[in-house]
Amino acid sequence: MRFLVVDDSSTMRRIIINTLTKLGYKECHEAGNGREGFDKLATTPVDMVITDWNMPEMSGIEFIRAIRGNDATKTLPILMVTTNAAQDDIVEAMKAGVNNYVVKPFTPDTIKEKIEAALNAA
């Protein structure tokens, strides 16, 4: 299974990729914001996107809307990983089109459960 991890924090990208590797997912691509991530999707096919919310240039919400608005990517499973955990935040992300939502800090077990749930929901 192939992932695209999008976060402006290189530390958080590394933590997520290390977590995915430990879970047995070896093919992970990365991008530093939504714009970079959307451009990467045009050339790098993946099976799931994991994205942050607050990023420069193109936020996670804008990125998700761009994915859902593109015929080639509109059904791609998307997991959002963020510190934005208020009920209103989750509703906004779900409306934008995320399949599931992880609040930082998280454990590897949580990531595993949410990936499976996002795949089932897609």
Partner 1 sequence: MHVSEEVLTQLLSATEEVFETMVFKPVSRQDPIEDNSVRPPGNVVATVAFAGHRRGLVAFHSSLGTARTIAGAMLGMPAEAINGEMPDAIGEVANMIAGSFRTKLAALEPPSAIAIPTVTIGSDFSTKYLSQVNRVLCPFQMEDELIYIELILTGEPS
Interface residues toward partner 1, by CB under 8 A? 9-12, 14-15, 18, 54, 82-86, 88, 103-107
Give the C-alpha separation, 92 to 105, whole Å.
Answer: 20
Q: Which is nearer to partner 1, 22 or 74 (CB)?
A: 22
Distances (CA, A) of 56 to 19, 53, 86, 99, 115: 24, 10, 21, 22, 25
Distance in Å, CB of 75 to partner 1, minimum: 30
Nearer to partner 1, 41 or 84 (CB): 84
Q: Which of 12, 15, 13 shows the shortest CA–CA distance to 40?
A: 13
Residue 103 Cβ vs partner 1, minimum distance, rounded to whole Å: 7
Closer residue to partner 1 (CB): 18 or 120: 18
